Amino acid sequence: MTKTEQQPVAILVPGHFNDHAVGRIDRTFRRIGIERADPSLVTDEMRETVRGIACFGGINAALMDALPRLEIIANFGVGYDSVDARHAGQNGIMVTNTPDVLTEEVADTTIGLLINTVREMYAAEKWLRDGGWVKTGHYPLSRLTLRGRSVGIFGMGRIGLAVARRLEAFALPVSYHNRRKVEGLPYGYHATLKGLAEAVDTLICIAPGGAATEKAINAEILSALGPNGVFVNIGRGSTVDEAALAAALANGTIAAAGLDVFADEPNVPRALLEAPNTSLLPHVGSASEHTRRAMADLCVDNLISWFSERRPLTPVPETVEVKPRG
């Protein structure tokens, strides 16, 4: 029970949710489960009582409109492009996410994915496990290396900065592209994504999803990256034209790609699955028990803070001006 309520606040939780977060919600609120975030599943009782949502995204305007008492959407994850935050802000609904607590974990994964892509670690391990070392001898020399590479980061936010710091330790020059230059950074800035791709041979995408970045990594950008190019995506699958990427990998437009995210998860295009010059992960950027627990705590802490102290901890920009009702 919250400090300000005689009865526990009702929180809607669509689909399967993090077990630790569910446990904390159950101890403080009245959790209402729903199969999926679908307004057609909203009952009269939900319309009358639900004041918060805890979710992995996927909250559209129709669901918000179906819940007239809704005050806050606590998104589990730093990315919230599948939550209509603009509609929420226009209708006095707070949206929060879970930044910072996953930054270092995702940056670690990014570097691991880059190294795996360039040095073929997975293929080399499979060679050993399948008996290739014994039967045939040493694994073939990797065609690519990190040595002598220059790295461009598309999306110099919290995670981008953490990746850049790690790349400095590898003695690799770093540059970046954002919508605008970040003052005070020691890295070279490119005003266009194409300009960045032309200047580097390794492109790491950490850009958020949404209409502004939809298929930003297209045939033109991949061609600019060049035949020695390596592309890594740890941000959102929607930022990549996957058909163009598959073609670029097949015809030698670029050398290799490492992907942790895809446009239609968990469905990965067959052409990418079959490409020998890809390293593919099932969206595990922040997927350690340690980090997911921290994300769960921040997600629930936002709910608790909102209903007990009437303030969010980590509001998204579109709803930062939203005030509590009553």
Which residues are catalytic, by number?
A: 236, 265, 283
For 15, half-sphere exposure in the C-beta direction (CA atoms, 13 angstrom radius) is 9
Block residue for tokens 């929420």: 88
Residue by residue, DSSP assigns 93-139 as -EEE---STTHHHHHHHHHHHHHHHHHTHHHHHHHHHTTHHHHT-SP
Tokens of 31: 């959790």
Q: What is the identity of the amino acid at 285?
A: G
Residue 204 has φ and ψ, to the nearest 5°, of -110, 120
The size of the chain, in residues, is: 326
H-type alpha helices, the chain: 19-28, 44-49, 61-65, 85-90, 103-119, 121-129, 132-135, 158-169, 193-199, 219-225, 242-251, 270-274, 289-309
Tokens representing 179 are 């919508």
Q: Are 299 and 7 in contact (CB under 8 A)?
A: no
**Per-residue tokens: 49:** 């009582």
- Which amino acid, residue 296? A
Instruction: Provide the CA 52 distance to its chain's centre, in angstroms.
Output: 23
Beta-bridge partners for 232:
204, 258
